[in-house]
């Protein structure tokens, strides 16, 4: 029976990207909702890694399963690195489209050539007995003056990737995974997941395998 690994997120876009990136591993990636975890602790950390650890650690203790969480954000140079770790709540309780409009409005005076930004991602694996492993990735881009593309999620329609020569919302899933902050952190996770240490770590579970009954 394959190992179960819980993904501690309520963001469907992240869940899809993790499922696709980890499909080659002999791991059953289960969502938090499937295991009855629908709420996570408030993200009070001062870094992506701290917030990811809060989510993964909480899920590991709540379910007894090794758990991974992603904390990520968009850092805009002209806004002094904002919204950063506050990306999901930037502007308050807004729809995705409203949040994009809020960001674009803040940047209305910023000329082309001064609209650089980066996405940053920390993925943390936490086990029920307290083992922790962190993976990080980032990618550089520019904030466009208006949205382009229908794919992805969050700020993808306004994030132009010079490597792809298109926005993340115009990119295919494979293209986004190849260059994105999450794709890069997931690549590190994938490389590590094939090592003997990783297999031991991911077996650190309080949930008995079905054939143990």
Q: Would you say 14 or 133 has its CB closer to ligand ITT?
A: 14
Pick the binder of ligand ITT from 63, 87, 161, 205 (CB under 6 A): 87
Pick the binder of ligand ITT from 65, 66, 71, 76 (CB under 6 A): 71
Q: Would you say 11 or 131 has its CB closer to ligand ITT?
A: 11
Q: Outline where the chain has alpha helix (H).
A: 12-21, 48-63, 96-106, 173-179, 181-193, 196-202
Contact between residue 141 and residue 158 where contact means Cβ atoms under 8 Å apart: no
Shortest CA distance to 70 belongs to which of 146, 128, 130, 126? 126
Report, as residue numbers or ranges, the catalytic residues.
71
Q: How far is the CB of 208 from ligand ITT (least distance, A)?
A: 28
Distance of alpha carbon 43 from alpha carbon 71, whole angstroms:
9
Token pair of 50 as six digits: 């701290």
Q: How far is the CB of 34 from ligand ITT (least distance, A)?
A: 14
Taking every pair of C-alpha atoms in the chain, what is the biggest distance, in angstroms?
64
Q: How far is the CB of 89 from ligand ITT (least distance, A)?
A: 8
List contacts with ligand ITT (CB under 6 A). 9-11, 14, 43, 55, 70-74, 87-88, 119, 152-156, 168, 180, 182
């Amino acid at each position: 029976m394959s190992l179960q690994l819980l993904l501690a997120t309520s963001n469907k876009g992240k869940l899809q990207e993790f499922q696709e990136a980890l499909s080659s591993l002999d791991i059953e990636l289960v969502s938090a909702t499937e295991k009855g975890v629908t709420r996570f602790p408030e993200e009070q950390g001062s870094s992506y890694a701290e917030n990811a650890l809060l989510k993964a650690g909480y899920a590991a203790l709540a379910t007894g399963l090794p758990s991974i969480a992603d904390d990520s954000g968009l850092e805009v140079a002209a806004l002094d690195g904002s919204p950063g770790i506050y990306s999901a709540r930037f502007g308050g309780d807004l729809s995705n489209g409203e949040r994009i409009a809020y960001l674009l409005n803040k940047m209305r005076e910023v000329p082309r050539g001064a609209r650089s930004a980066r996405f940053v991602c920390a993925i943390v694996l936490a086990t029920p007995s307290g083992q922790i492993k962190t993976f990080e990735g980032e990618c550089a881009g520019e904030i466009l003056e208006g949205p382009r593309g229908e794919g992805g999620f969050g700020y993808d329609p306004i994030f132009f990737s010079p490597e792809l020569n298109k926005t993340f919302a115009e990119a295919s899933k494979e293209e986004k995974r190849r260059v994105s902050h999450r794709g890069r952190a997931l690549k590190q996770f994938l490389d590590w997941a094939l090592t003997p240490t990783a297999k031991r770590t991911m077996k650190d579970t309080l949930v008995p395998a079905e054939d143990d009954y």
